[in-house]
Amino acid sequence: MARSNAANIVVLGSLNLDLIAQVTHLPTAGETVLASKLEKRFGGKGGNQALAAARQGAQVNIIACLGDDPEGRDYRNHLRRENINCSSLNTIRGSTGSAFISVDALGENQIVVIPGANAALTAPSVKMQRSRIAVAKAMLVQMEIPLDTVLAAISIANETSVPAILNASPIRTDFPWGDVTIDVLIVNEKEALQIFELTEAAAIQSQLSCKGIRQLIITRGDKSTQCLTKITVTEVPTHPITPVDTTGAGDAFAGAFTAHFAEGVSITESVKWANVAAALSTLQLGAQEGLPHRGDVQSAMTKLAIDQA
């Protein structure tokens, strides 16, 4: 499974300080739940996905914003330690983004995000990074930053023939599908239903072209991951695991997928790697702590192949 050169990719997105509360069960509306522990971790979908890609061997350039607070300084140093290029990482006056996360005994979670400095990642600031995006093998972006910024980044990728990979999370009902071209859209089942208002693969396929989507990936928890184009539907089995914390599993998938896809690997093979990376990421508490390295994923894939032989 070894490949030669690591791919240069751009990840554009949010950086948050995560405050994680461990609870016996997630609160319902109006309910107060006592937490057994509170931890502070680095998170945000942009940071998580950048780290996931870097640990799979990609050369990652991150385009994002931090506050000038201690959390922002700590986060920048953290990314540098992970060999992520921070030359396009801006610092503004104010607070770094944050998120409040509750995790229950089964590993399920609820998340509330406060944008902070992430709101300062504007379309004009991204347009200044055109040359950085233009030389990348792929660009990965999510939806925890302003919508205009997302669209500006995808437009630049389209204009410079760089594959644009969008993880449409958290979902935006006002996203102008069809205005830009998305080479690979990554969503979960719930997000897919909100975008297409359909669940049947054939019906979804008929909408891809008009929505500007070339390839669609739908993650479905422990069920097989679906890969759709206008004419094909492929299902890729997930990796069997008992999760400790599912926070960031989707980010682990998106980052790992982009790292391998940017190396020129097929979409199906890239999803295989991403499925295993996402599964392994759930074995530790926190969105980034459990993100596996390339060797960990390769070992798990090899072991599974041996066990199934």
Mean pLDDT of 3-15: 86
Rounded Cα distance between 10 and 84, Å, is 10
In a domain, 1, yes or no: no
Task: Yes or no: say if 96 and 46 are a contact pair by the CB < 8 Å rule.
Answer: no
pLDDT at residue 5 greater than cutoff 80? no
pLDDT at residue 218 greater than cutoff 90? yes
Residue 45 pLDDT grade (very low, low, confident, very high; cuts 50, 70, 90): very high
Residue 309 has what pLDDT? 57
The answer to whether 18 is a known catalytic residue is: no
More confident residue, 1 or 238: 238
Residue 31 has what pLDDT? 95
| Token couple for 125 | 């600031």
Rounded Cα distance between 275 and 170, Å, is 20
In a domain, 3, yes or no: no
Residue 1 has what pLDDT? 45
- Mean of per-residue pLDDT scores for the chain: 94
User: Residue 295 maps to which CATH number?
Assistant: 3.40.1190.20
Residue 2 has what pLDDT? 44
pLDDT at residue 183 greater than cutoff 60? yes
In a domain, 59, yes or no: yes
In a domain, 236, yes or no: yes
Mean pLDDT of 238-257: 91
Residue 139 has what pLDDT? 98
With a CB cutoff of 8 Å and minimum separation 6, the contacts of 31 are none
Q: How many CB atoms lie within 10 A of CB 290?
A: 20
Rounded Cα distance between 224 and 221, Å, is 8
- Catalytic residue, candidates 183, 251, 296, 307: 251
Residue 262 has what pLDDT? 97
Mean pLDDT of 102-121: 91
Mean pLDDT of 194-215: 95
Question: Residue 113's Cα: distance from chain center in Å?
Answer: 15
pLDDT at residue 202 greater than cutoff 80? yes
- The model's pLDDT over 256-290, given as tens digits with 9 standing for 90+, comes to 999 999 999 999 999 999 999 999 999 987 789 89
Expressed as residue numbers, the domain containing 82 is: 8-26+35-308
Mean pLDDT of 19-37: 94
Residue 3 has what pLDDT? 53
Q: What percent of the chain clears pLDDT 90, i.e. is strictly above it?
A: 83
- φ/ψ bin of 47: left (φ > 0), alpha (ψ from -120 to 50), beta (otherwise): alpha
Q: Locate all alpha helices (DSSP H) within the chain, ordered by sequence.
A: 45-55, 70-81, 123-127, 130-134, 147-159, 189-196, 201-208, 249-261, 267-281, 294-308
Residue 35 pLDDT grade (very low, low, confident, very high; cuts 50, 70, 90): very high
Domains contained in the chain, number: 1
pLDDT at residue 81 greater than cutoff 80? yes
Q: How many CB atoms lie within 10 A of CB 39?
A: 14
